[in-house]
Amino acid sequence: MIMNFFKFFLLLAVPLLLEANTLSGEALAKRLHLSAGTKAVIQWERVFKSERKKRKYKIETLSPSEQDILKEYLISHAIDSDKPTVAGE
Amino acid sequence: MGNKIILSSLMLFSLLHAQEVTADKPTIEDLIKEIQKLKESIKELKAAQKENSSYIEEVDEHVEKTETRLLQDKLKFGLDFKTNLDNFSKKYASGRVVKNNNIWSNKLMLNAKADITGSMKFYARLSMYKYWGSSYVHPYSSYDNMQGRVPADSSIYVERAYLDWFFNKDGILPFAVTIGRQPSGDGPSFQFKDNTMRKATYSALLYDGAADGIVTTFNLSKVLKYKKTYLRFGYAKGFGYAETANDVGNAYIGASNNDLKDTNVYGIFLDTRVPYLHNSLVQVSYSKMKDIIANPLDGSAMTNKNLGDMDIYGAMVEITNLKNMNLDLFAHYGYIKTDPNSNTYLRYGGLLNSPGSSASKSGDAIWLGARYGFGEKAKYKVGLEYNHGSKNWVSLTQGSFDVYNKLATRGDAYEAYVMYVANRYVNIRLGYIKIDYDYTRSGWFVGEPLPLNILSPSADYDLKSLESAYLKMNVNF
């Protein structure tokens, strides 16, 4: 059993090395003071389609790839998005 | 406010034009005319202001009406709908092959949620799961943890109904108590295959099915200054026993008797994430099943027995969208150890034992998987899964939505699929699964798992292998 646990936790090391220093959508949202739960999916989509709104929320200060990551995060955490279902969280 | 602006404008106007006035020497009449004009402007502005005020009042009334309507909607509903086409090919230990092609089924899940107060939330899931053109209820479908989870008739079952009650939300150690029919089916890492978010609390290798209980969750994120870290203590009634002979009047309330105890499950679970992996989940757990009932559907205390206890250990890790590469990975490990008594159920035997034996047994299992998204916005996904269970592997996955209950396999199971994500809410999956069984009675607590043998009396119904090519559509809205 101990050996199996040991092998199992060795698996953890691989993604750990790969993932370090990657900026997440959550961190980008925090940096711009945006809270995903304040808007519905369709409203966040509207924000990213409008240059005026992107300026308003300072999203335009991010690179295109960062904008994509942020958009994915905000939409997937929007107030009406599919949410994790877990006891007591 | 409006008057002040106009008077200021008038003064400014007078100053700016003072020289001109002096130069052109306007008459008193000219000035009176100007004042008259300004008075008219003020009157117009006042009228406009009055109109605006009544408009704001009207809008305010509409907003309040909308708010009232929203507040009346105490329950918010969501929809999960699955359509499955399976083509089974089963091979038994005797060599007999049975094919069941063109098997269609639907599962409907109505998810309800209510924000009762800022610190109290209620969730429910009402489910129907049936094969097309059939309302046959297999006896196993009546098991409490399988209701609404495995195909039966078109009845709606309550798969989940629980209250989350949060305490000390702003304190250093917030905690929540979850009471009722728990979110314990379709857990991690089934969400990758369904292309949804995490759908339950516990590793699906160890627990998959409905369960009634009470769970206390301590949010350690603030204390440890480490996000998404939770410690849970759970209690659930694994199998409640009701003796048929006592099934009258008030006796039903106390149906359990001294001969047979309910199966109780106690567990401790730690959830956290791997450093630097924002979208990861690590779960380590220990549970104890006390007084495992041989057959929850056998209402006779003469035949039904408690077979003993079992310890269940688990560890898992999953990573979603690793380094934004559209790559998801997961690995689960489970280990069990039994503490049987000397009871035997009918001719089947004791807890993972042959009749007459009460030896302690242990078993383990591993479940590995990966999913990769490609194409524009990762609309296409390909996934691979593998699991292996040892001779004595058994856990609480009898209520798995997956009709093969592949995670209970005492042997090897392989699955590969491709998925097309039609939009945010709908995906279609084409897949193939192959299960090679090494021992009998996968998923059963009762009786000793035996190597598959062509000469065994049960060889004609002991599965040696199972294959299915399937097509599934998931709607999650």
Q: State how far the alpha carbon of B38 is from the alpha carbons of B2, B13, B35, B42, B45, in Å.
A: 12, 11, 5, 6, 11
pLDDT in tens, A11-68: 555 545 444 445 688 899 999 999 999 999 899 999 999 999 999 999 999 999 999 9
Q: Are residues A88 and B335, on separate chains, in Cβ contact within 8 Å?
A: no
Give which of B401, B394, B11, B425 is closest to B195, Cα–Cα. B425
Residue of A nearest to B221 (CA): A89
Q: Are residues A88 and B215, on separate chains, in Cβ contact within 8 Å?
A: yes
Residues of chain B with CATH 2.40.160.10: 77-476
Say what the ipTM of the complex is: 0.77
- Chain B positions in Cβ-Cβ contact with residue A69 (cut-off 8 Å): 324
Give which of B326, B241, B310, B224 is closest to B275, Cα–Cα. B224
User: How much is the pLDDT for A57?
Assistant: 95
Contacts of B98 (CB under 8 A, 6+ apart): B88, B89, B90, B92
B476 contact A CB<8A = yes
Which helix (H) or strand (E) element contains residue B249? none
Place of tokens 């691979």: B384
Residue B42 φ/ψ region, left for φ over 0, alpha for ψ in the -120 to 50 degree band, beta for the rest: alpha
Residues 176-215 of chain B with CB under 8 A from chain A are 176-178, 182-183, 196-201, 215
Give the C-alpha separation, A8 to A16, whole Å.
Answer: 14
Q: Are residues A4 and B364, on separate chains, in Cβ contact within 8 Å?
A: yes
- Size of chain A, expressed as the number of residues it contains: 89
What are the residues of chain A with a beta carbon less than 8 Å away from any beta carbon of chain B?
1, 4-5, 8-9, 11-12, 15-16, 18-22, 24, 26-27, 41, 69, 76, 82-89
Tell me the shortest Cα–Cα distance from B159 to chain A, in angstroms.
13
> How much is the CA Rg of chain A, to the nearest whole Å?
18
Q: What is the 3-state secondary structure (H, E, C) of B321-333?
A: CHHHCCEEEEEEE
Residue of A nearest to B198 (CA): A84
Q: State how far the alpha carbon of B140 is from the alpha carbons of A51, B150, B369, in Å.
A: 58, 9, 29
Domain ranges in chain A are: 23-83
pLDDT in tens, B213-271: 999 999 999 999 999 999 999 999 887 766 665 554 444 444 455 668 889 999 999 99
pLDDT in tens, B133-192: 998 888 777 888 899 999 999 999 999 999 999 999 999 999 999 999 999 999 999 999
Cβ pair B387, B363 in contact under 8 A? no
Q: Are residues B217 and A19, on separate chains, in Cβ contact within 8 Å?
A: no
This prediction's pTM:
0.83
Residue of A nearest to B475 (CA): A82
User: How much is the pLDDT for B241?
Assistant: 65
User: How much is the pLDDT for A34?
Assistant: 95
User: How much is the pLDDT for A26?
Assistant: 87
Q: Is the alpha carbon torsion for B207, B210, B211, B215 positive or negative? A: positive
- Chain B positions in Cβ-Cβ contact with residue A16 (cut-off 8 Å): 274-277
Contacts of B382 (CB under 8 A, 6+ apart): B371, B372, B374, B416, B417, B418, B419
Contacts of A46 (CB under 8 A, 6+ apart): A53
Residue to substitute from B207, B219, B278, interface A, most A β-carbons within 10 A = B278
User: How much is the pLDDT for B2?
Assistant: 52
| Token reading at B285 | 């757990």
Q: Are residues A16 and B275, on separate chains, in Cβ contact within 8 Å?
A: yes
The CATH class that applies to domain B77-476 reads mainly beta
Residues 113-172 of chain B with CB under 8 A from chain A are 123, 162, 164, 166
CB-nearest to A85 from B200, B217, B279 is B200
- For B252-280, give one letter per residue: b (16+ CB within 10 A) or e: eeebeeeebebbbbebebbbbbbeebbbb
- Chain A positions in Cβ-Cβ contact with residue B327 (cut-off 8 Å): none
Looking at this protein, which amino acid is placed at residue B316? M
Tell me the shortest Cα–Cα distance from A75 to chain B, in angstroms.
10
| Token reading at B70 | 């929203």
Per-residue pLDDT of chain B (477 residues; tens, 9 = 90+): 555 555 555 555 555 555 555 556 788 999 999 999 999 999 999 988 988 888 888 888 888 888 888 877 889 999 999 999 999 999 999 999 999 999 999 999 999 999 999 999 999 999 999 999 998 888 777 888 899 999 999 999 999 999 999 999 999 999 999 999 999 999 999 999 999 999 999 999 999 999 999 999 999 999 999 999 999 999 998 877 666 655 544 444 444 556 688 899 999 999 999 998 888 999 999 999 999 999 888 877 788 889 999 999 999 999 999 988 999 999 999 999 999 999 999 989 999 999 989 999 999 999 999 999 999 889 999 999 999 999 999 999 999 988 889 999 999 999 999 999 999 899 999 999 999 999 999 999 999 999 998 888 888 889 999 999 999 999 998
